Amino acid sequence: MGTWDIGHFDNDTAADFSGHLDDALETEREAVVRKALVETIETEDFLDSYEACKAVASAALIAAQLPGGTPITTSYAPKKPLPTFSPELRPLAVQALDRVLTPESELLELWDETEYGPQWRQSVADLKAVLLT
């Protein structure tokens, strides 16, 4: 995974996911986000960082639309308009973030191997807090 900072879109996978959202029909963008969340939640074995990065990016997009959410301003985020996400995506995003933070998560493992692990964990916790409000 190419990563250049701890932001939710500061890695190759999330940037590619943003491009995938931009390529999708406007009416399909929520389904793309939902799929990323569900795939992460339903992973039974070791969670690959690829799926985890897409789930974190999806959760960040949902949280950005909520009160207290941080606007997504990075150039690596989707450039085309996103729909107002359905409220039913919020609990899915929370579940996906919980899955990303389990010991069977490659993304968590990779971050914990760096000095930025605690900061990254806090950024995920902050997303979750917004989603739970």
Q: Is residue 122 part of a domain?
A: yes
Residue 16 has pLDDT above 60, yes or no: yes
SS (H, E, C) 58-82: HHHHHHHCCCCCCCCCCCCCCCCCC
pLDDT recorded at residue 54: 98
Residue 77 has pLDDT above 70, yes or no: yes
Q: Is residue 118 part of a domain?
A: yes
Report how many domains make up the chain.
1
| pTM summary value | 0.95
Q: Is residue 52 part of a domain?
A: yes
Residue 1 has pLDDT above 70, yes or no: no
Residue 18 has pLDDT above 70, yes or no: yes
Q: Is residue 7 part of a domain?
A: no
Q: Is residue 1 part of a domain?
A: no
Q: Is residue 2 part of a domain?
A: no
Domain that holds residue 113: 12-132
Tens digit of pLDDT for each residue in 79-108? 999 999 999 999 999 999 999 999 999 999
- The CA angle 106-98-126, to the nearest 5 degrees, is 105
